[in-house]
Amino acid sequence: MKTSIAALALSLLLVGTAHAQEDPFNGVWKLDQSKSITNGSPLPELEVITLKHENNAETGINDITDNGRRTRSTYTATFDDGQWYRGKSLDTGEESSGLVRMIRMSERSELRLGKRADGTFSGMFLRQVSEDGKTMQVMWYRADGSILQELHFDKQ
Protein backbone atom coordinates (compact mmCIF):
# COMPACT_ATOMS: atom_id res chain seq x y z
CA MET A 1 0.00 0.00 0.00
CA LYS A 2 2.82 2.39 0.90
CA THR A 3 4.48 1.66 -2.44
CA SER A 4 1.25 2.45 -4.33
CA ILE A 5 0.80 5.74 -2.47
CA ALA A 6 4.43 6.70 -3.05
CA ALA A 7 4.14 5.84 -6.75
CA LEU A 8 0.94 7.88 -7.05
CA ALA A 9 2.51 10.85 -5.27
CA LEU A 10 5.58 10.68 -7.53
CA SER A 11 3.48 10.48 -10.69
CA LEU A 12 1.38 13.48 -9.60
CA LEU A 13 4.57 15.42 -8.87
CA LEU A 14 5.98 14.60 -12.32
CA VAL A 15 2.74 15.57 -14.07
CA GLY A 16 2.66 18.86 -12.14
CA THR A 17 6.29 19.56 -13.01
CA ALA A 18 5.74 18.84 -16.71
CA HIS A 19 2.70 21.12 -16.73
CA ALA A 20 4.59 23.88 -14.90
CA GLN A 21 7.38 23.71 -17.49
CA GLU A 22 4.99 24.11 -20.45
CA ASP A 23 6.07 27.16 -22.41
CA PRO A 24 3.46 29.95 -22.05
CA PHE A 25 3.77 30.82 -25.78
CA ASN A 26 2.79 27.34 -26.95
CA GLY A 27 -0.67 27.11 -28.40
CA VAL A 28 -3.15 28.70 -30.74
CA TRP A 29 -3.78 32.45 -30.43
CA LYS A 30 -6.66 34.37 -32.03
CA LEU A 31 -6.61 38.12 -32.64
CA ASP A 32 -9.10 40.14 -30.58
CA GLN A 33 -9.83 43.10 -32.85
CA SER A 34 -11.85 44.92 -30.19
CA LYS A 35 -8.76 45.26 -27.96
CA SER A 36 -6.23 45.86 -30.75
CA ILE A 37 -5.04 49.27 -31.94
CA THR A 38 -3.60 50.16 -35.32
CA ASN A 39 -1.69 53.23 -36.52
CA GLY A 40 -2.11 53.18 -40.28
CA SER A 41 -2.23 49.51 -41.18
CA PRO A 42 -5.72 47.95 -41.09
CA LEU A 43 -6.33 44.88 -38.98
CA PRO A 44 -7.18 41.66 -40.82
CA GLU A 45 -10.66 40.15 -40.62
CA LEU A 46 -9.19 37.13 -38.82
CA GLU A 47 -5.71 36.25 -37.61
CA VAL A 48 -4.72 33.04 -35.87
CA ILE A 49 -1.15 32.33 -34.78
CA THR A 50 0.04 28.90 -33.72
CA LEU A 51 3.29 28.91 -31.73
CA LYS A 52 5.40 25.96 -30.64
CA HIS A 53 8.56 26.35 -28.57
CA GLU A 54 10.80 23.31 -28.52
CA ASN A 55 14.58 22.81 -28.20
CA ASN A 56 15.20 26.57 -27.83
CA ALA A 57 13.42 27.30 -31.13
CA GLU A 58 10.06 28.71 -32.16
CA THR A 59 7.92 27.44 -34.99
CA GLY A 60 5.19 29.87 -35.91
CA ILE A 61 2.24 29.50 -38.26
CA ASN A 62 0.35 32.64 -39.17
CA ASP A 63 -3.12 32.18 -40.68
CA ILE A 64 -4.67 35.45 -41.89
CA THR A 65 -7.96 36.13 -43.61
CA ASP A 66 -8.32 39.61 -45.06
CA ASN A 67 -10.78 40.87 -47.66
CA GLY A 68 -12.03 37.30 -47.97
CA ARG A 69 -8.56 36.00 -48.92
CA ARG A 70 -6.76 33.51 -46.68
CA THR A 71 -2.94 33.31 -46.51
CA ARG A 72 -0.81 31.04 -44.35
CA SER A 73 2.90 31.24 -43.63
CA THR A 74 5.39 29.56 -41.32
CA TYR A 75 8.93 29.88 -39.98
CA THR A 76 11.18 28.09 -37.51
CA ALA A 77 13.90 30.11 -35.77
CA THR A 78 16.28 29.29 -32.93
CA PHE A 79 16.38 31.76 -30.06
CA ASP A 80 19.46 33.84 -29.26
CA ASP A 81 21.81 32.33 -31.84
CA GLY A 82 22.33 35.52 -33.89
CA GLN A 83 21.08 33.84 -37.09
CA TRP A 84 18.45 35.07 -39.54
CA TYR A 85 15.75 32.63 -40.66
CA ARG A 86 13.54 32.67 -43.73
CA GLY A 87 9.86 31.78 -43.59
CA LYS A 88 7.72 30.33 -46.32
CA SER A 89 4.19 30.39 -47.62
CA LEU A 90 2.14 27.34 -46.70
CA ASP A 91 -0.10 28.13 -49.67
CA THR A 92 2.55 28.20 -52.41
CA GLY A 93 5.60 26.63 -50.74
CA GLU A 94 7.69 29.64 -51.77
CA GLU A 95 10.22 31.14 -49.37
CA SER A 96 9.42 34.60 -48.10
CA SER A 97 11.71 37.48 -48.99
CA GLY A 98 11.98 38.63 -45.37
CA LEU A 99 14.05 37.16 -42.57
CA VAL A 100 13.47 36.84 -38.81
CA ARG A 101 15.73 36.63 -35.76
CA MET A 102 14.36 35.54 -32.39
CA ILE A 103 15.47 36.74 -28.96
CA ARG A 104 14.05 35.22 -25.78
CA MET A 105 13.92 37.99 -23.18
CA SER A 106 12.19 36.08 -20.38
CA GLU A 107 9.79 33.18 -19.89
CA ARG A 108 6.88 35.42 -20.94
CA SER A 109 8.48 37.84 -23.41
CA GLU A 110 10.28 37.54 -26.73
CA LEU A 111 11.48 39.81 -29.47
CA ARG A 112 11.12 38.99 -33.17
CA LEU A 113 13.32 41.13 -35.44
CA GLY A 114 12.63 41.48 -39.16
CA LYS A 115 14.92 42.15 -42.08
CA ARG A 116 14.04 42.73 -45.75
CA ALA A 117 15.64 40.82 -48.62
CA ASP A 118 17.98 43.80 -49.23
CA GLY A 119 19.29 43.51 -45.66
CA THR A 120 17.56 46.58 -44.22
CA PHE A 121 15.77 46.39 -40.89
CA SER A 122 11.98 46.14 -41.38
CA GLY A 123 10.76 46.31 -37.77
CA MET A 124 10.13 44.13 -34.76
CA PHE A 125 7.49 42.45 -32.66
CA LEU A 126 7.61 42.41 -28.87
CA ARG A 127 5.41 39.57 -27.63
CA GLN A 128 4.36 39.19 -24.01
CA VAL A 129 2.13 36.51 -22.51
CA SER A 130 0.05 37.44 -19.46
CA GLU A 131 0.74 35.85 -16.07
CA ASP A 132 -2.37 33.69 -16.36
CA GLY A 133 -1.31 32.56 -19.86
CA LYS A 134 -4.66 33.48 -21.42
CA THR A 135 -3.67 36.55 -23.45
CA MET A 136 -0.72 37.70 -25.51
CA GLN A 137 0.08 41.31 -26.35
CA VAL A 138 2.10 41.98 -29.49
CA MET A 139 3.63 45.42 -30.05
CA TRP A 140 4.58 45.80 -33.73
CA TYR A 141 7.23 48.49 -34.24
CA ARG A 142 8.22 50.03 -37.56
CA ALA A 143 11.89 50.36 -38.46
CA ASP A 144 11.86 53.97 -37.17
CA GLY A 145 10.70 52.79 -33.71
CA SER A 146 7.11 54.05 -33.99
CA ILE A 147 4.28 51.67 -33.14
CA LEU A 148 2.42 50.28 -36.14
CA GLN A 149 0.01 48.05 -34.20
CA GLU A 150 -0.75 46.93 -30.67
CA LEU A 151 -2.33 43.52 -31.04
CA HIS A 152 -4.16 41.46 -28.44
CA PHE A 153 -4.54 37.71 -28.85
CA ASP A 154 -6.59 35.26 -26.79
CA LYS A 155 -5.39 31.71 -26.25
CA GLN A 156 -7.77 29.20 -27.80
**Under 8 Å CB-to-CB from 121, ≥6 apart: which residues?**
113, 114, 115, 143
Please write the tens of the pLDDT for every residue from 56-96.
Answer: 999 999 999 999 999 999 999 999 999 999 999 999 999 99
**Residue 123 predicted with pLDDT over 80:** yes
How many degrees, rounded to 5, is the angle at CA 38 between CA 35 and CA 39? 150
Considering only 15-19, 112-116, 131-135, 150-154, which range has the smallest mean pLDDT?
15-19
Q: Strand ranges (DSSP E) for 39-83?
A: 46-54, 57-66, 69-78
pLDDT of res. 41: 83
pLDDT at 19: 42
Inter-CA distances, 52 with 55, 92, 117, Å: 10, 22, 25
- Superfamily of domain 24-155 in the CATH hierarchy: Calycin beta-barrel core domain (2.40.128.20)
Q: How far apart are CA 39 and CA 94, in angstroms?
A: 30
Report the predicted TM-score, pTM, of the whole model to 2 decimal places: 0.84
pLDDT per residue over 2-48, tens digit each? 554 444 444 444 444 344 459 999 999 999 999 999 998 899 999 99
Q: What is the pLDDT of residue 45?
A: 95
| Residue 92 DSSP one-character state | T
How much is the pLDDT for 17?
38
